[in-house]
Amino acid sequence: MNIAVFHGSTRDNGNTEYLTYQAVPKEKGTHIYLKEHDIKPIVDERHAPDGFKEVVDDHTKLIDKMLEHDVYVFSTPIYWYSMSGVMKTFIDRWSQVMKDPNYAHFRGALKDKKVYVIAVGGDKPHIKGLPLIQQFEYICQFFGMSFEGYVIGKASRPGDIKQNEKALTEAGLLLKGL
Amino acid sequence: MNIAVFHGSTRDNGNTEYLTYQAVPKEKGTHIYLKEHDIKPIVDERHAPDGFKEVVDDHTKLIDKMLEHDVYVFSTPIYWYSMSGVMKTFIDRWSQVMKDPNYAHFRGALKDKKVYVIAVGGDKPHIKGLPLIQQFEYICQFFGMSFEGYVIGKASRPGDIKQNEKALTEAGLLLKGL
Amino acid sequence: MNIAVFHGSTRDNGNTEYLTYQAVPKEKGTHIYLKEHDIKPIVDERHAPDGFKEVVDDHTKLIDKMLEHDVYVFSTPIYWYSMSGVMKTFIDRWSQVMKDPNYAHFRGALKDKKVYVIAVGGDKPHIKGLPLIQQFEYICQFFGMSFEGYVIGKASRPGDIKQNEKALTEAGLLLKGL
Amino acid sequence: MNIAVFHGSTRDNGNTEYLTYQAVPKEKGTHIYLKEHDIKPIVDERHAPDGFKEVVDDHTKLIDKMLEHDVYVFSTPIYWYSMSGVMKTFIDRWSQVMKDPNYAHFRGALKDKKVYVIAVGGDKPHIKGLPLIQQFEYICQFFGMSFEGYVIGKASRPGDIKQNEKALTEAGLLLKGL
């Protein structure tokens, strides 16, 4: 199965990225680093008379890439107990995609895709990261995607994650048998 | 007590805004509409050798305004089961403020502030909005702010909230006795 | 619509009971006080060769009563952040009912029933009571019941709830329009 | 460190028990099978003029045993999205212990104890078991115990858990380094 990994980190070679490579090695799957792309925040015009205004940025290109894959890994540092702003901005814009006549198939196309989440935080992430996991479950439910699993890692300072045997092991098992 | 309301909606006169005015009328408190301000996404440079690069936008101005108040109302539509991207971006940047030598007092200054949340969504918000509430609780805990209460409203189409007697009543009571 | 209220409190005239009467007055609906009934804990024999052994207590009688109604209010003090043990014991036994040939219709019969929850606790119940709410949502989902709403009240000492205007108001509105 | 394992299952040799032995082998630690003990449901008499009436059952003996240990593993099948009734009944009675003059030290004695949770369920336990995890966190917070980690396993039919490599591996790592 072809896998797209969406990296929501805003720095290079961080703990989240490292943990994610244990699940999906760099040379496997398509790795998309959201921070390298121009993604504008949504302006909610669902109910505007003329609908959404066209936005010129990289979002459509990313959606096209997304639709080419069957398995999605959302990899995000935990910022203030939820996904990073750049990942949130990427997902918020899905509301606009759903109203785009060129993407009338978007919602249906996501059905049955498999979703995994990898999240890394420093402040009791195995407890305080759970609302984030629940939110991904709701997103999956909305589209009929299957939320297959998640790994939460604890790390704050660069390199911390390398000492976290449990998280590394869990990440290594996350997509096993896929 | 002086109240600052942070509006996270991305459209004018929406349901979330309407519900919020039941709690804090337009002419009372300081209403800040995040969508009218330029707020850049955070780039996590907490561990970079030179720390965070200066960012030129409206964020510092908003933080100054925030610090002048004692009660915060975070008012957000529920986008994909969490706060709007613009509100998330505003909050993500607090991590940078905390590293700014000019704002060494930031974390301490928030201690004991009172926080309220108003959230409006269309998809079972009284259940699916709860992770968002939990996340605000964690944010409050981090700073020692007191999470005083929240109202969740159900609405999708413009004006829906006006029919939601329960939510309107709850919003009217939210800050009562403050 | 005929309403059955299941009281999970273990003392008389407590805060939870008082709050519940704001939603369903004593003279309206069928009030069932679980503590007055003999309900044995479940012994999980779902996979035993002969299935569940018959249990002689009041559980079946309560299930019969339950099935005569269309709207269920579960009213529970928050004990250790979840429903009271007596209510849990009552619900745990539903697993046995579902295996009882005389109640083959049980699961289907609950479909589309309307469910409300009233919960009262002393330790930040509006946050720490949320997992309990989520669990009732999952129970409803399992049976296809509709979780229509909930009220959380804060109270510790006898009579506290009478000072809690917000909770009383919310309880008064809870079943309105039913 | 001496470990007490509280088994909340109501059948022998179940999936939860099997998974738990991967974390704490049968010959290691003190294994307490709650179903083998007589534990009466709490009657809330915290505010009764004469306080709690004495209850004759095995609860006090279990509390004494508990206090002899420093690490607690709570192992429970997921019944209706929360801990089993027998485990809930055991924990509910802690409220009575705290009012018992002979156990005035109870709350303080639990401070800094280490807690682990093992939970096994059949219906999306990695999502629907999370409120249960959150509730244990709140219980730990109340006493100042440290919630060190948890494992959630998926299993329904007897023996299922043996096929769940991820859960078995996680359980094997759970108390590592203690």
Q: Do C131 and D128 touch (CB under 8 A)?
A: no
Q: What is the ipTM of this complex?
A: 0.95
pLDDT at residue A1 in the model: 62
For D82, the 3-state DSSP assignment is strand
Flag whether pLDDT at C48 surpasses 90: no
Q: Angle D130-143/C130-143 helices, nearest 10 degrees?
A: 160
- Cα-Cα-Cα-Cα dihedral sign, residues D50, D55, D59, D65: positive
Among residues of chain A, what percentage have pLDDT more than 70? 99
3-state helix, strand, coil split of chain D in percent (to 5) is 40, 20, 40
Q: Do D42 and C131 touch (CB under 8 A)?
A: no
Average pLDDT on B83-97 reads 95
Cα–Cα distance for residue pair B42/B128, rounded to 1 Å: 27
The domain tally of chain D equals: 1
Among residues of chain B, what percentage have pLDDT more than 70? 99
Please enumerate residues of B whose Cβ is less than 8 A from a Cβ of C. Answer: 126-127, 130, 133-134, 137, 147, 149-150, 165-166, 169-170, 173, 176
Banded model confidence at residue C1, pLDDT cuts 50, 70, 90: low
Cα–Cα distance for residue pair C134/C139, rounded to 1 Å: 9
Nearest chain B residue (CA) to C165: B173
Average pLDDT on D133-146 reads 98
Q: Do D42 and C14 touch (CB under 8 A)?
A: no
> Which is higher by pLDDT, D1 or D124?
D124
- Are C174 and C149 a contacting pair, CB within 8 Å? yes
Average pLDDT on B79-96 reads 95
Q: Do D127 and A149 touch (CB under 8 A)?
A: no
Flag whether pLDDT at C49 surpasses 90: no
Residues of chain D contacting A164 with CB distance shorter than 8 Å = none
- Are A175 and A23 a contacting pair, CB within 8 Å? yes
Flag whether pLDDT at D117 surpasses 80: yes
Q: Give the type of residue at D115.
A: V
Average pLDDT on B59-70 reads 98
pLDDT at residue A73 in the model: 98
Best residue in D52, D82, D87 for a mutation probing chain C (most C CBs within 10 Å): D82
Q: What is the mean pLDDT of chain C?
A: 95
pTM here is: 0.96
Residue A168 contacts by C-beta under 8 Å, 6 or more apart in sequence? A19, A22, A161, A162
Cα–Cα distance for residue pair A106/A63, rounded to 1 Å: 9
pLDDT at residue B127 in the model: 97
Give the count of beta carbons closer than 10 Å to the beta carbon of residue A103.
17
Q: Do D138 and C11 touch (CB under 8 A)?
A: no
Nearest chain B residue (CA) to C175: B166
Average pLDDT on D158-162 reads 94
pLDDT, tens digit, 9 for 90 and up, residues A35-84: 999 999 998 888 888 888 889 999 999 999 999 999 999 999 999 999 99
For B141, the 3-state DSSP assignment is helix
Residues of chain A contacting D149 with CB distance shorter than 8 Å = 126, 166
Q: What is the mean pLDDT of chain A?
A: 95
Flag whether pLDDT at D6 surpasses 90: yes
Cα B137 from chain centroid (whole Å) = 12
Containing H/E element for A58? none
Q: Do B173 and C165 touch (CB under 8 A)?
A: yes
Nearest chain C residue (CA) to D143: C80
Containing H/E element for B49? none
Range of the domain at A162: 3-174
Banded model confidence at residue B1, pLDDT cuts 50, 70, 90: low
Residues of chain A contacting D173 with CB distance shorter than 8 Å = 165-166, 169
Best residue in D38, D45, D92 for a mutation probing chain C (most C CBs within 10 Å): D92
Where residue B29 sits, what CATH number does that domain have? 3.40.50.360
Flag whether pLDDT at D69 surpasses 90: yes
Flag whether pLDDT at D1 surpasses 70: no
